[in-house]
């Protein structure tokens, strides 16, 4: 069955209705509702521990919500899991590649898992490698790749089965500026093809380039608007930036309370020892 | 045939998915020479050094040299290591590997699990075959039939142990836990399977091995395994009980039967356990793999606050 969204242009690509996820006593996502339009480039921005990944995991059927529901192109994330999975592509925050296999082999596994027929498979792999600028190294083991190459490969893999909605969980994390820029160009190309993109990020520059930004904190959706709209409403000064709006909404407290004391100390040091409390 | 998920499948069986997952396991194994080295070093340590070392003192064990007697046990040891190692790779595969991409795909998870199980079993057959290469050195004559039979038993044992390993792996929090699994699972299963000592029999007999091989075979058929000297031994009852409840005992006994025409447990029990236990274990492992990613997320949640 084809996605209903194929014939209903006004159908939201993603629709979350009072979506909630609890883990014991911890409320990771607290009754969040929002819509993402088809073809929209949508960012979910939030501090550490805000609930971004939990939200993404629910929308991609990795975990089931404990309350509310969501639909991806009209398909319920609990009742129509198979349909939702056919519709979406996903790039995880940590690499989800088999490093002991070649790029080509990784792509081949994905193609088989998504039912790309044998006749089209070779062409799909060739196209994915070309798209990621990895044609020359297709037969090399992934463990020999740089972080940027792995990220491009993952992005190309996520697009192989032509998903209509793409989820990116902090896709540029850990990349150097060159790698980030290269990857960002690829993401922009996806956007031009009309694929709906929902991306979680810490990076305010990246969030600024999105159509709309949802700011999530402590499991709640606290603001949703265009980047310019967020700055105008929450920036607080004439030359305010999205960062000002973000800090204004989420405060200046460190949010890595789940990290070890050593990590918190390093995090503090990276901020130049600035007093943040 | 249905095409509900875009993948050709019937009742959760998608041959293309099983094939690609099987090939992944085998390719990864063939590229990792350390596993093959491990299989070889275990064989040399147990079969050659221990086999000939203890064999020099025991002389005969149920009419076989000690090295001959423990050869099926060393095959079993290699199968246990290979299949558990394949299964335990799930731990890091789901944390930082390909498995997450597999688990959010529309492919039937039963087929993913079957690919993993068959991959683990195939690797077990390769690893288990290493000690068989030493059969001429220890003086055990192999035939095409006995090798094919041994491969069949290794394969089924591999399915069982890979499935058991998957069930364990889905409950492991860190890859470092593999060390305790090695000591806590493989060694008890190995030592309590009759691999290195018989449940009962004649040990240290004198002269039987000096009889020409064809006459020895004839005597064995008559139930004669020793001439004189030696000790009649029997395990204590509590130890016998542990051997009886260990499925590997029956699989090893069947392997010893196909390789040496010697057994200590009822053949029907050997066949029933060897064929039925892997099926049950595979069904449980398939269900566990389906729940793996959900379990991962729960564990991550337990470790730190969500991002």
On chain B, the residues whose CB falls within 8 A of the CB of A95 are 96
Please answer yes or no on whether B293 and A62 come within 8 Å at the CB atom. yes
Q: Dump pLDDT digits (tens) for A185-203.
A: 888 888 888 899 999 988 8
Would you state the pLDDT for residue A139? Answer: 96
Which residue from A23, A52, A90 is facing B104, i.e. has the nearest CB?
A90
A230-239, B66-75, B123-132: which has the minimum mean pLDDT?
A: A230-239
Find the residue in B nearest to A84 (Cα): B106
On chain B, the residues whose CB falls within 8 A of the CB of A82 are 4-5, 106
Q: Dump pLDDT digits (tens) for B240-279.
A: 999 999 999 999 999 999 999 888 899 999 999 999 999 9
pLDDT band at B90 (very low <50, low <70, confident <90, very high): confident
Q: Dump pLDDT digits (tens) for B128-176.
A: 999 999 999 988 989 999 999 999 999 999 999 999 998 888 877 666 7
Q: Dump pLDDT digits (tens) for B202-236.
A: 776 666 777 777 777 777 777 777 666 667 778 88
Give the ipTM of the model, two decimals please: 0.80
Please answer yes or no on whether B8 and A26 come within 8 Å at the CB atom. no
On chain B, the residues whose CB falls within 8 A of the CB of A124 are none
Which of A 168-207 lie inside 8 A of B, CB atoms? 170, 200
Assess A60–B contact: CB distance below 8 Å, yes or no: yes
Quote the percentage of chain B above a pLDDT of 70.
86
Would you state the pLDDT for residue B59? Answer: 73
Cβ(A264)–Cβ(A277) below 8 Å = no
Find the residue in B nearest to A59 (Cα): B104
**Residues B206, B120: Cα–Cα separation, whole Å:** 42
* Residue B6 pLDDT > 80: no
* Residue A1 pLDDT > 80: no
Task: Output the average pLDDT for chain B.
Answer: 84
Tell me the sheet residues that pair with B194: none
What one-character-per-residue DSSP string does B135-195 give? HHHHT----HHHHHHHHHHHHHHHHHHHHHHHHHHTT-S-GGGHHHHIIIIIHHHHHTTTS
Cβ(B202)–Cβ(B234) below 8 Å = no
Task: Output the average pLDDT for chain A.
Answer: 84
Would you state the pLDDT for residue A264? Answer: 44
Q: What is the DSSP letter of A143?
A: G
A4-13, A20-29, A198-207: which has the minimum mean pLDDT?
A: A4-13
Would you state the pLDDT for residue A253? Answer: 65
Would you state the pLDDT for residue B135? Answer: 94
On chain B, the residues whose CB falls within 8 A of the CB of A108 are 20
**Which residues have a Cβ under 8 Å from the Cβ of B157 and sit 6 or more positions away?**
B76, B79, B80, B83, B124, B128, B248, B251, B255, B274, B278
Find the residue in B nearest to A63 (Cα): B294
If residue A14 lies in a helix (H) or strand (E), which one and from where to where? strand A14-23
* Residue A64 pLDDT > 70: yes
pLDDT band at B2 (very low <50, low <70, confident <90, very high): very low
Residue count (chain B): 307
Of B98, B113, B150, the C-alpha closest to B128 is B150
Q: Which residue has the tokens 């299963």?
A: B189
Please answer yes or no on whether B305 and A49 come within 8 Å at the CB atom. yes
More confident residue, B119 or B205: B119
On chain B, the residues whose CB falls within 8 A of the CB of A101 are 24, 27-28, 98
Cβ(A163)–Cβ(A89) below 8 Å = yes
Would you state the pLDDT for residue B149? Answer: 97
Tokens of B49: 């050094």
A59-74 burial, b at 16+ Cβ within 10 Å, e below that, comes to: bbbbbebeebbbbbbb
**Residues B16, B24: Cα–Cα separation, whole Å:** 12
On chain A, the residues whose CB falls within 8 A of the CB of B4 are 82
Please answer yes or no on whether A51 and B306 come within 8 Å at the CB atom. yes
pLDDT band at A266 (very low <50, low <70, confident <90, very high): very low
pLDDT band at A255 (very low <50, low <70, confident <90, very high): low
What one-character-per-residue DSSP string does B78-140 give? HHHHHHHHHHHHHHHHHHHSTHHHHHTSSS-HHHHHHHHHHHHHHHHHHHHHHHHTTHHHHT-
Q: Is B200 helix (H, G, I), strand (E, B) or coil?
A: strand
Q: Kindly tell me the burial class for residue A277, based on how many C-beta atoms sit within 10 Å of its own C-beta (0-12, 13-18, 19 or more).
A: exposed
Can you give the C-alpha Rg of chain A in angstroms?
19
Which residue from A50, A61, A110 is facing B101, i.e. has the nearest CB?
A110
Assess A108–B contact: CB distance below 8 Å, yes or no: yes
Please answer yes or no on whether A50 and B3 come within 8 Å at the CB atom. no
Neighbour order of strands in the sheet with A67-72 = A26-36, A14-23, A67-72, A75-76
* Residue B31 pLDDT > 60: yes
Tokens of A77: 């994330």
**Residues A65, A50: Cα–Cα separation, whole Å:** 16
């Amino acid at each position: 069955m084809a996605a209903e969204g194929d014939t209903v242009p006004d159908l939201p690509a993603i629709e979350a209705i009072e979506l909630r996820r609890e883990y014991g006593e911890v409320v990771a996502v607290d009754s969040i509702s929002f819509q993402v339009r088809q073809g929209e480039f949508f960012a979910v921005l939030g501090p550490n521990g805000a609930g971004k990944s939990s939200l993404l995991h629910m929308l991609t059927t990795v975990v089931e919500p404990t309350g509310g529901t969501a639909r991806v192109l009209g398909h319920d994330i609990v009742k129509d899991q198979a349909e939702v999975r056919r519709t979406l592509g996903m790039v995880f925050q940590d690499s989800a590649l088999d490093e002991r296999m070649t790029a080509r082999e990784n792509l081949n596994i994905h193609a088989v898992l998504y039912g790309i027929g044998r006749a089209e498979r070779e062409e799909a792999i060739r196209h994915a490698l070309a798209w990621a600028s990895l044609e020359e190294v297709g037969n090399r083991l992934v463990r020999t790749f740089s972080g940027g190459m792995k990220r491009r490969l993952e992005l190309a893999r996520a697009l192989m089965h032509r998903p209509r909605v793409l989820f990116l969980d902090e896709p540029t994390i850990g990349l150097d500026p060159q790698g980030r820029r290269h990857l960002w160009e690829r993401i922009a190309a996806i956007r031009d093809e009309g694929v709906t993109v929902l991306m979680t990020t810490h990076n305010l520059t990246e969030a600024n380039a999105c159509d709309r930004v949802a700011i999530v904190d402590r499991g709640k959706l606290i603001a949703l608007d265009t980047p310019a709209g967020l700055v105008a409403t929450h920036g607080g000064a004439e030359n305010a930036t999205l960062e000002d709006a973000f800090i204004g909404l989420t405060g200046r407290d460190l949010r890595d309370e789940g990290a070890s004391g050593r990590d918190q100390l390093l995090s503090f040091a990276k901020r130049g020892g600035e007093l943040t409390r | 045939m249905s095409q509900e998920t875009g993948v050709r499948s019937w009742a959760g069986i998608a041959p293309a998915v099983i094939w690609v997952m099987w090939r992944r396991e085998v390719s990864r194994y063939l590229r990792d020479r350390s596993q093959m080295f491990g299989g070889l070093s275990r064989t040399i340590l147990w079969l050659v050094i221990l086999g000939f070392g203890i064999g020099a003192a025991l002389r005969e064990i149920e009419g076989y040299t000690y090295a001959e007697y423990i050869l099926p046990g060393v095959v079993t040891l290699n199968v246990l290591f290979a299949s558990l190692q394949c299964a335990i790779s799930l731990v890091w595969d789901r944390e930082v590997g390909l498995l997450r991409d597999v688990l959010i795909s529309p492919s039937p998870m039963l087929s993913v699990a079957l690919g993993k199980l068959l991959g683990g079993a195939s690797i077990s057959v390769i690893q288990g075959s290493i000690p068989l290469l030493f059969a001429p050195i220890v003086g055990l004559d192999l035939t095409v039939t006995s090798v094919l039979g041994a491969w069949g038993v290794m394969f089924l044992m591999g399915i069982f142990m890979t499935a058991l390993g998957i069930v364990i792996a889905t409950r492991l929090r860190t890859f470092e836990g593999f060390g305790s699994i090695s000591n806590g699972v493989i060694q008890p299963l190995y030592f309590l399977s009759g691999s290195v000592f018989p449940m009962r029999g004649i040990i240290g007999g004198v002269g039987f091995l000096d009889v020409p091989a064809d006459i020895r075979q004839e005597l064995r058929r008559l139930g004669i395994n020793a001439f004189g000297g030696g000790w009649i031994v029997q395990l204590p009852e509590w130890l016998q009980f542990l051997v009886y409840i260990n499925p590997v005992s029956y699989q090893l006994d069947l392997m010893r039967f196909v390789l040496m025409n010697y057994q200590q447990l009822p053949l029907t029990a050997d066949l029933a356990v060897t064929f039925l236990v892997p099926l049950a274990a595979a069904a449980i492992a398939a269900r566990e793999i389906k729940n793996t990613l959900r379990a991962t997320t729960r564990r991550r949640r337990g470790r730190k606050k969500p991002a």
